[in-house]
A and B are shown apart, each in its own frame.
Chain A
Amino acid sequence: MSNTPMIQVRNLYKTYRAGEVDVHALQGASLDIVRGEFVAIVGASGSGKSTLFNILGTLTPPTSGTVTINGKDLSNLTNAERTELRKHTVGFVFQKYNLLPTLTAEDNIRMVQYIGTRNKSGKTAQFTPEFKEILEVLGIADRMKHKPRALSGGQQQRVAIARALVNGPAIVLADEPTGNLDSKNSAAVLGLLSDLNKRLGQTILMITHDREAAHYAGRSIEMRDGQIV
């Protein structure tokens, strides 16, 4: 594990407007995450962890402060560059899985692969042997032809993890990945994230309010009132 920070957050502020009220979601948050780390950001509802997730995922810009991922300063990126970054650098795992309901599990993964790697012919490459191994580890190889509605919550979240990994992102951002799962499936999903981190050296940043879930991570960071404490 290199000690060079893959993610560097400095003095991050985010204020957004909810109705007629300004909400100061982030108030000078700073943190470093090095390559190959599995970090959990723990905090209560309203602590600013989801806002941090959205900024790190380039889904929303910060009000001020700097965020650097893989040496790229997000504050100087155009919309097109942010889109490119999401294609290749970041993989998302959401609380509500967020699979496309009309596609099968395999096509959900292939869609992201297509977006990340498509060439002019519009064809996507075959899954690599390494990725097929990941599918085996995730235990969903035999569920790939099913649509999300035919999968359990745990299976959907495994598909979502596979989808996040298909383009070999530098970092996986997981927002409450066990928030919609029972304890058995939660343990399985967290175990898989931990396993992938150890096997592949995959950098993972997990947002959670569940301290028990945070124990699966190599390091926990606490957030409160928009700040890292």
Chain B
Amino acid sequence: MINKLVLSNLGHRPVRTVLSVLAIAVEVTMILTLVGVSYGTLDGTAQRARGVGADLMIRPPGSAIIGLSTAPMSDELIAFVASQPHVALATGTAIQPLSGFDSITGLDIDPFTKMSGGFNFLEGGPFQYDQDMLVDEYYAREHKLHVGDQVKLANHVWRVAGIFESGKLARICVRLSVLQDMMGNQHRLSQIYVKTDSPDQIQAVLSDLRTKMPTYQIYSMEEFTSLLSISSVGLLRNFIGVVIGVAVIVGFIVVFMAMYTAVLERTREIGILKAVGASPWLILDLLFRETLLLSVLGTIVGILLTYVTQWLMKHAVPSSLTQETVYLWWPIAGGVAIIGALLGVVVPGIKAVRQDATEALSYE
């Protein structure tokens, strides 16, 4: 019977109900989109790192797991690393951060090809000239690029020489020496990739390099990709925490406003219920169920909206932002929405319970 009253109350004010559901949905979408983009970005980075075909990765001292590093390591390290026992190949890259999430990666195409098996070109081919640039399919699609097109990046005009299948190293690649010159950072590297002569030697080489290069951050590729998670990237973790906090506040305010108005509007009805023997718990039960239903509907609509944002990103900015569907976060986002909403109904609920029945019954 209570459920029937809840449904009829929500149906009685369809605009308010729809707006409340939408507001909660936006809150849920906000969380799921942020988490989806975070997962997408990290998984994309991990996929590209794996695509290099290296067994180990050496990063500069003090560098973060994910970040747009410049090039502080000497390229003499490549020779040093390559000379170590069981190291089959070592190659370095330099990274020049661009605006937003983009960056240019400088690479030596020959050792990179040897290590990774080379790019799978969908259009064009490898570098022919110093100003040549290779881009992956998503970057090309987003910026409508084809082989032969000219692109100005980092105050430099590049020619698109090839468009490759995504999933290897980076989205934008140029010759290492050209990028180092452009950055004024000759003979410097951002990271070094290492291939061992046998998978069985990975741990031994890792230990050996860590001993010989104690200040450097050296990971096996498996270890590095496993570290690419939200919990190990402090900035993302904090950012998601802030967004969840904002979402709870938004949910609280939306439901507070909606239910406060509902309680005021239903003063007489609450008086009637009290007069016929409804306990304070029943009044609260009624409001809490109504709020819970709004939150659940908002969560469902929010999840559906997340697919809309995913579609928009895929078609509008496929190279910069990749949004994944993170099912694990559906109940978390729903829980956040429900908690915010239930907090929002507390004060209106107390107001309803405290209403004097005789005054409520004479309310016009």
Contact = CB atoms under 8 A, between A and B. Distances in A.
Contacts of B5: 100, 102-103, 107, 111
B279 interface: yes
Contacts of B282: 115
22 contacts: A57-B275, A59-B274, A59-B357, A60-B356, A60-B357, A60-B358, A83-B277, A88-B277, A92-B275, A92-B276, A98-B272, A98-B275, A99-B272, A100-B273, A102-B12, A102-B269, A110-B1, A111-B1, A111-B276, A115-B276, A122-B1, A122-B2
A86 B272 contact: no
B277 A98 contact: no
Contact of A102 (B1, B8, B277): B8
Contact of A115 (B9, B12, B271, B278): B278
Contact of A114 (B1, B274, B358, B361): B1
A153 B357 CA distance: 23
Contact of B9 (A60, A80, A102, A116): A102
B122 to A, nearest CB: 60
Contacts, number: 72
B4 interface: yes
Interface in B1-60: 1-2, 4-5, 8-9, 11-12
A112 interface: yes
A99 B5 CA distance: 12
A54 interface: yes
A98 B357 CA distance: 12
Contact of A124 (B1, B273, B279): B1
Given A98-B268, A98-B272, A116 B4 contact: no
Interface residues of A, number: 29
B8 A163 contact: no
Nearest to B8: A102
Contacts of B272: 98-100
Contacts of B268: 98
Contacts of A80: 279
A129 interface: no
Interface string A140-181: 000000000000000000000001000000000000000000
A87 B357 CA distance: 14
Nearest to A54: B358
A87 B5 CA distance: 18
A84 interface: yes
A112 B277 CA distance: 8
A94 interface: yes
B4 A103 contact: yes
B301 to A, nearest CB: 23
A101 interface: yes
Interface in A5-57: 54, 57
Interface string B274-299: 11111100100000000000000000
Contact of A101 (B1, B2, B12, B271): B12
A184 to B, nearest CB: 26
A59 B355 CA distance: 11
B269 A101 contact: yes
Interface string A89-127: 000101000111111000100111011101000101000
A35 B305 CA distance: 63
B53 to A, nearest CB: 62
A102 B269 CA distance: 10
A60 to B, nearest CB: 5
Given A59-B358, A111-B1, A122-B1, A102 B11 contact: yes
